[in-house]
């Protein structure tokens, strides 16, 4: 959406903060032995009972999809995105993306982080860290007059120069009173191409980066996306506002990991 007034913006800031606070809350529960279904239940109860907000994924049904059956997405190891919480037990060394979208007062906040369960391998930790940097390089390309292609290019360049690949089939998205809307924010591309950014636009940046090849496939559950070659995949997501001076990250809370110190 494009912000029209300060009331709109204040409500988007609140929704963004709440989504991020769900991740702060759940972080201590992500440890060996917990199931993804337990993480979902804890988040669902926190969102509905403490935050008095609505978990946007629950029963979300874009055209061509059956309703998503849970309140958060949990994507483990070679699962790229849209993993459905269930009986799966997290083990030492797993990596898991928790993707939270809340609706508060009609406005959406959408954010995700990677968690390493116990001690992860060097390769798994590196994939999570490079993907975090990819998200931030995309965010730092945001300012009025820049183009969507600048964001995609910054992400693709960093992923591929580290030997990883960018998933093409899913992208960031405009967000506001709707969960997913225009524009599409591709995580690959060429500088100076696609739509020009202007102050007031709000969209997510949520790169999915694979340790192996970029190809994906969908599981028979109709939602879960996995890497075709079963290589590990990571994702981070923030909801971002274009400001006169550059950008403002709306999905921020006390536990939000600080932006990386990137040397470029």
Give me the residues that bind Co ion (CB under 5 A), please: 99, 110, 204, 237
Residue 57 touches which of ligand MF3, Co ion, none (Cβ within 5-8 Å per kind): ligand MF3
CB of 177 to ligand MF3, least distance (A): 15
Alpha-carbon gap, residue 206 to 239, rounded angstroms:
9
Phi, psi torsion values for 133, nearest 5 degrees = -65, -40
Alpha-carbon gap, residue 84 to 82, rounded angstroms:
6
Residue 60 touches which of Co ion, ligand MF3, none (Cβ within 5-8 Å per kind): ligand MF3
Contact pattern from residue 88 through residue 117 relative to ligand MF3, giving x for each residue in contact according to CB under 6 A and a dash for the rest: -----------x-x--------x-------
CB of 244 to ligand MF3, least distance (A): 26
Which residues from 25-84 bind ligand MF3, rule CB under 6 A?
A: 57, 60, 68, 73, 82
Tokens, residue 91: 């083990």
As a dihedral over the C-alpha atoms of residue 259, residue 170, residue 128, residue 214, rounded to 10 degrees, the angle is -140
Tokens, residue 64: 């061509």
Q: For residues 40 and 83, is the Cβ–Cβ distance under 8 A?
A: no
As a dihedral over the C-alpha atoms of residue 145, residue 13, residue 207, residue 44, rounded to 10 degrees, the angle is -160
Under the binding rule (CB under 6 A), the answer on residue 237 touching ligand MF3 is: yes
CB of 204 to Co ion, least distance (A): 4
Residue 82 touches which of Co ion, ligand MF3, none (Cβ within 5-8 Å per kind): ligand MF3
CB of 32 to ligand MF3, least distance (A): 25
Compare residues 77 and 204 and give the one whose CB is closer to ligand MF3.
204
**Looking at 21, 94, 133, 206, which residue binds ligand MF3 (CB under 6 A)?**
206
* Strand arrangement, sheet containing 79-81: 79-81, 225-227, 216-218
Alpha-carbon gap, residue 80 to 74, rounded angstroms:
10
Compare residues 42 and 199 and give the one whose CB is closer to ligand MF3.
42
């Amino acid at each position: 959406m494009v912000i029209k007034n300060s009331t709109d913006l204040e409500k988007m800031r609140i929704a963004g903060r709440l989504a991020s606070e769900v991740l702060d809350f759940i972080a201590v529960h992500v440890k060996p032995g917990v199931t993804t279904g337990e993480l979902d239940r804890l988040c669902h109860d926190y969102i509905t009972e403490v935050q008095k907000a609505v978990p946007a994924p629950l029963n979300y049904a874009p055209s061509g999809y059956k309703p998503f059956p849970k309140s958060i997405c949990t994507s483990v190891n070679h699962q790229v995105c849209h993993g459905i919480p269930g009986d799966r037990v997290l083990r030492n060394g797993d990596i898991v993306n928790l993707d939270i979208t809340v609706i508060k007062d009609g406005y959406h906040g959408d954010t995700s982080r990677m968690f390493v369960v116990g001690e992860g391998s060097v390769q798994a930790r590196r994939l999570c860290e490079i993907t975090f940097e990819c998200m931030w390089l995309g965010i730092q390309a945001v300012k009025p007059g820049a183009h969507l292609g600048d964001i995609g290019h910054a992400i693709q360049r960093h992923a591929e120069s580290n030997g990883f690949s960018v998933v093409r089939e899913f992208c960031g998205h405009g967000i506001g009173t709707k969960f997913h809307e225009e524009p599409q924010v591709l995580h690959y591309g060429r500088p100076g191409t696609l739509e020009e950014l202007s102050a007031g636009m709000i969209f997510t940046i949520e790169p999915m980066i694979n340790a192996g090849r970029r190809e994906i496939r969908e599981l028979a559950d109709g939602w879960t996306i996995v890497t075709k070659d079963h290589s590990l995949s990571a994702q981070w997501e923030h909801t971002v506002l274009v400001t006169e001076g550059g950008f403002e990250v709306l999905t921020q809370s006390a536990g939000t990991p600080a932006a990386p110190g990137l040397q470029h």
